[in-house]
């Protein structure tokens, strides 16, 4: 095989490194398959049952499933809730554990610097109820509700928020 001249070889190496850098997921970007307890928007009710089992509470109109988890003996702290659209697909999911491709990224109690280190700057910041602040990451339609001083994550919401 013929040896490439010096300049094109550098260009090829640079292009290969650039392509590799584009393939690697960088911290600080809300990319990938985000989920809350393994549930993502557009999943079917059957997929949710497979991921979480049967719901402890099932509301019909609007369709909402609620789950109860015990965490260190305290009920309610980690309870996920799933809101379905009329076709039976997940529209919005809330909970205290945010994952990417099955691996935990953040959970309830994470600090604002931790949130920003993992997800980057939010696309929108708006006041919530009480002393909470909503951080919205529009690319993934992720809402992180923070409260307290210093601010800590209270809950994550993924998908299109249901209207009251």
Residues 68 and 54 sit within 8 Å (Cβ to Cβ):
no
Question: Is 85 a domain residue?
Answer: yes
Six-digit token string for 122: 């939010």
pLDDT at 116: 87
H helical segments located in 24-131: 45-52, 112-119
What are the tens digits of pLDDT across the range 93-118?
Answer: 999 999 988 899 999 999 989 988 98
32 prior amide bond cis, ω within 30: no
Beta carbons within 8 Å of 129's beta carbon, 6+ residues apart: none
Which range of residues forms the domain containing residue 38? 27-159
Residue 75 covered by a domain: yes
Question: In total, how many domains does the chain have?
Answer: 1
In the beta sheet, which residues pair with residue 58?
Answer: 65
Mean pLDDT by 10 residues, the chain (164 residues): 51 39 36 81 93 89 82 56 93 91 90 88 71 65 84 87 72
pTM check: above 0.75: no
């Amino acid at each position: 095989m013929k040896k490439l001249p010096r300049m094109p070889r550098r260009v090829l190496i640079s292009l290969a490194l650039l392509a590799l850098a584009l393939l690697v997921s960088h911290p600080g970007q809300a990319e990938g398959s985000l989920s809350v307890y393994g549930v993502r928007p557009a999943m079917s009710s059957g997929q949710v049952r497979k991921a979480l089992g049967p719901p402890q509470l099932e509301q019909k109109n609007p369709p909402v499933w609620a789950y109860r988890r015990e965490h260190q003996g305290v009920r309610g702290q980690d309870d996920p809730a799933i809101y379905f659209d009329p076709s039976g697909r997940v529209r919005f999911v809330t909970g205290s554990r945010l994952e990417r491709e099955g691996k935990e990224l953040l959970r309830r109690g994470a600090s604002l610097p931790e949130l920003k280190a993992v997800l980057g700057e939010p696309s929108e910041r708006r006041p919530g109820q009480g002393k909470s602040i909503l951080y919205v990451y529009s690319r993934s339609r992720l809402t992180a509700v923070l409260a307290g001083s210093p601010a800590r994550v209270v809950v994550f919401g993924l998908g299109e928020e249901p209207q009251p």
